[in-house]
Amino acid sequence: MILVTGGAGFIGANFVLDWLRQSDEAVLNVDKLTYAGNLGTLRSLADDSKHVFTRVDICDGEALRALFAKHQPRAVVHFAAESHVDRSIHGPAEFVQTNVVGTFTLLEAARNYWAGLDQAGKDAFRFLHVSTDEVFGSLSAEDPQFSETTPYAPNSPYSATKAGSDHLVRAYHHTYGLPTLTTNCSNNYGPYQFPEKLIPLMIANALAGKPLPVYGDGQNVRDWLYVGDHCSAIREVLARGKPGETYNIGGWNEKKNLDVVHTLCDLLDAARPKADGSYRDQITYVKDRPGHDRRYAIDASKLERELGWKPAETFETGLAKTVRWYLDHAQWVEEVQSGEYRNWVELNYAGRA
């Protein structure tokens, strides 16, 4: 069995679903079920005995120690995190608690469990920590892509807390010998993403006839990674990564935010045309996010060179799959758009016109 934290969130749920489609090994899914955790995403696993779900906060050390003792996982894949920059600006305390204190608490529980294993169990155990390219800060148009040796320079409460969790994971390997692995990924997109992030927000607003809010001049650049590719990369790192190492996971798809929105509008124009005009007519420029990093770009060549992984999807194929999924799963979108989510959108975009 493997233990997955945050397995009801966007990337974690995709990972759990992919894992159980491809493996007979069971998953212990640990999730607090905050606003972004959605058991509806895992509805297809309701009768799968290989999926064991438990609602636990990773800051609860006693509960984590009990789970390790009962289920004796051979590995931990740690997705659980507060992950939205805008939310971290409005309320940084939750990010410090979950991303830093939660990761520390999980590391302590894993270390205590690992220390009690026999030598073969210790050698086989892995703790894989899923992080972000945002810990490296911002790039100019001329700067080289982020590599595994790029100095950390986080610029938001979100990225600062993820940087702190990365440093804790590194320290637990070098101080205690815990066999850790860290991955730093670029912007994910795909099925089951909560509609506060750029791509699902634009799809939902476009179909609802609402404005498509683009921050600033829309020229901020991100590297886009299809979530299924991210999951396959994590499986490779878990299986063959070297303990103590970090691996960048990227899609080799640098795109300006405005270009992403234009492409989404064009795909929607083709798949579900409006009565008149284009979805591009709904684009609205709004006040920029404070401290908005200009460019992220991932150099994922180490992962390809050492483990043979590279993404299967181009941005065009991945985005087309994503749009089609959201069009086909309107009920899922409606279910996750709770009153809390609507209140959040009003808070974040109020006054940005």
| Measured distance CA(152)–CA(331) in Å, rounded | 40
Query: Within 10 Å of residue 259's Cβ, how many Cβ atoms?
Result: 14
What pLDDT does residue 291 have? 84
Catalytic residue among 113, 158, 192, 296: 158
What pLDDT does residue 343 have? 63
User: In sequence order, what are the residues at sequence separation of 6 or more whose Cβ sits closer than 8 angstroms to the Cβ of residue 186?
Assistant: 133, 222, 223, 224, 225, 249, 250, 251, 296, 297, 298
| Measured distance CA(309)–CA(232) in Å, rounded | 8
Catalytic residue among 31, 57, 82, 134: 134
What pLDDT does residue 337 have? 78
3-state helix, strand, coil in the chain (%, to 5): 50, 15, 35
What is the topology classification, in CATH, of domain 2-190+226-254+295-313? Rossmann fold (3.40.50)
**Domain locations in the chain as residue ranges:** 2-190+226-254+295-313
C-alpha distances (whole Å) from 351 to each of 156, 281, 283, 347 are 20, 21, 17, 9
Q: Which two tokens stand for residue 123?
A: 């050698």
Judge residue 99's burial from the number of C-beta atoms within 10 Å of its C-beta, 0-12 exposed, 13-18 middle, 19 or more buried.
Answer: buried
Nearest to 270 by CA among 280, 259, 260: 280
In the residue annotation, 293 being an active-site residue is answered as no
In the residue annotation, 245 being an active-site residue is answered as no
Catalytic residue among 31, 57, 82, 133: 133
Helical residues (DSSP H) of the chain, grouped into ranges: 10-22, 61-71, 85-90, 92-95, 103-115, 119-124, 157-176, 198-208, 227-240, 257-271, 301-307, 315-328, 330-336, 339-349
In the residue annotation, 189 being an active-site residue is answered as no
Query: Within 10 Å of residue 181's Cβ, how many Cβ atoms?
Result: 25
What pLDDT does residue 86 have? 81
Rounded to 5 degrees, what are φ and ψ at 180? -100, 160
What pLDDT does residue 350 have? 61
**Residues 216-267: tens digit of each pLDDT:** 999 999 999 999 999 999 999 999 999 999 999 999 999 999 999 999 999 9
Block means of pLDDT (10 residues each) for the chain, length 353 residues? Answer: 97 98 97 85 94 97 98 98 85 95 98 98 98 96 96 95 98 98 97 91 96 96 97 98 98 97 98 96 94 94 98 97 97 77 56 55
